[in-house]
Amino acid sequence: MDNFKLGEPLQKSANNSGSQVWNFVSSPGLHPMKVTINMNKGGTAPGLIFVAPYTAYGENMIGQTGALIMDQAGNPIWFRPLNSRYIQNSDFRVQSYKDKPVLTMWQGTISGTQSANPNLPAGDPEPGAYFQIINQNYKIIKKLTAQKGYTADVHEFTITNRNTALFTAVKQVPADLTLYGGPADGYFDDYSIQEVDLETGKLLFFWNVLAHVDPADSMIPASSAANSNNIWDCFHVNSVEEGPNNTLLISMRNMWAIYNIDKKTGNIIWQLGGKQSDFTFGPKATFSWQHDARYRPGKRISLFDDGCCASTSSPPESKAHGLILKLDFQNMTANVDRAYYHDPMLYVPSQGNLQKLSNGNQLVGWGQEPYVSEFANAGNTERNPSLNFLYDMQFPNQNLSYRAFKNKWRGVPLYPPSIAVETFREDAVIVYASWNGSTETVAWQVLAGLNPDRLSVVVDSIPRTGFETDIYVNSDRPYFQVNALNSCGHVIGTSRIVHL
């Protein structure tokens, strides 16, 4: 250590420590998980990685739950921890609200993460959940709950180009399930699609599944209700997206089906997959337990095909993969256009998503398996999964994120940078500098002085390294402060003054 030079950063790389959790001297309340980068080839899309780590009940949560932005090397950029591992975020990503970039997410408790015997079907939101919108200063500017007695659901919250919110919500509806082989004193887990004006809170659109889809078509037997307080999760809506001509594309995992509905009438225009599919499938085009159905140009649909494990009564149908299907509406057929398999192959019991990136690449969040991967657009095959496989991030242990995204983001915190100072020897200290969420900080300036009113620069500019930069400073002065510098060398933030 004696060989370090004035202002030399001591920060280690993201994957150097044996610990699986980040600990920061200047930000002692933040303990995000550390990730491992298994692969990082050229040609990846620009942007930061957005995940919301949590884990299942009975698993060892590594670090804190919350919302986490990382760079591609795995270094945290912004982390907002939650005060209990039994509270989670989901669907954490960048969207646009009133033509400005914002962060959006769901927050609440996911059933099955807090008890071995949950009161609701696994994956349901517990009452009290809500959505939130956060601006570039990391200030919450909107909180939103579901209406008509439904609970805001973990799966989807989208801001439309009309500045309305389109989201999923769920409610337990009492029903005699004996017709389906379930209990007489049972409940349907009834999902709804709701659209709300974000300014007024007015409910603009409401569509509930039970009124339009036959529960008998479910791939989950009604007898499964016995495992969740007699509630039958027959539908399990997990994505909704606006389409052309006032339509909605809705994925229902437990129906193994994707529905295109007329938003005006509420009628189902066509169904892709499931027991009542309007399409026949070509080789490798079938899917099951799917997530994240999205419109793609050229009469294509993308989805994440879990193909596995949501029902213990059936074996894995296929290995999980991102899937893009080409739909032929004249012949009503669906064929594989692209596929994205992990190397090595993964069986994914739940969750997951497939995102088109700015350069045409595809990002896959592997849901219940602790990986995030990026592929060149052309994709790969089950026989050759290494083809076009460009990037792979792995979470520690069984940490997971419902979805994962790569987005461009500019974060400008209004709170100041953080500083801590430790004595290294009589005439030297280590200054720790960080600024949670700042994407514009590229360097640090260190000031010191004999009293807090007369500080002078002792380290003019030292490059930012990772989330927290450790700076060796030859100084026996007792007062210290750091300035954050942008790429032009301008001061964009000033920490408090600390006394050693």
Q: What is the mean pLDDT of residues 416-441?
A: 96
Domain locations in the chain as residue ranges: 36-407, 418-499
- Whether 88 and 82 have beta carbons less than 8 Å apart is answered as yes
pLDDT interval class at 319 (50, 70, 90): very high
> How confident is the model at residue 4, as a pLDDT?
36
CA distance 6 to 448: 13
pLDDT tens digits, one per residue of 329-374: 999 999 999 999 999 999 999 999 999 999 999 999 999 999 999 9
Write down the pLDDT at residue 317.
61
Task: Check residue 17 and give its pLDDT.
Answer: 37
**Any residues with CB less than 8 A from the CB of 105 and at least 6 apart, and which?**
52, 67, 89, 90, 91, 92, 93, 131, 132, 134, 157
Q: Do domains 36-407 and 418-499 have the same CATH topology?
A: no
377 contacts 364 by C-beta, under 8 angstroms: no
Q: What is the pLDDT of residue 310?
A: 54
pLDDT at 15 over 60: no
**Cis check: omega of the bond before 344, within 30 degrees of 0:** yes
User: What percentage of the chain reaches a pLDDT higher than 70?
Assistant: 95
Q: How confident is the model at residue 11 (pLDDT cuts 50, 70, 90)?
A: very low
Question: Which 3 state secondary structure label does DSSP give 309?
Answer: coil
**pLDDT tens digits along 95-137:** 999 999 999 999 999 999 988 888 999 999 999 999 999 999 9
Q: What architecture does CATH give domain 418-499?
A: Sandwich (2.60)
Which pTM does this prediction carry? 0.95
Q: What is the largest CA-CA distance in the chain?
A: 82
d(CA 406, CA 359): 11
Please check whether residue 433 is in contact with residue 419, taking contact to mean a CB–CB distance below 8 angstroms.
Answer: yes
Instruction: Report the CATH architecture of 36-407.
Output: 6 Propeller (2.120)
Q: What is the DSSP letter of 223?
A: G
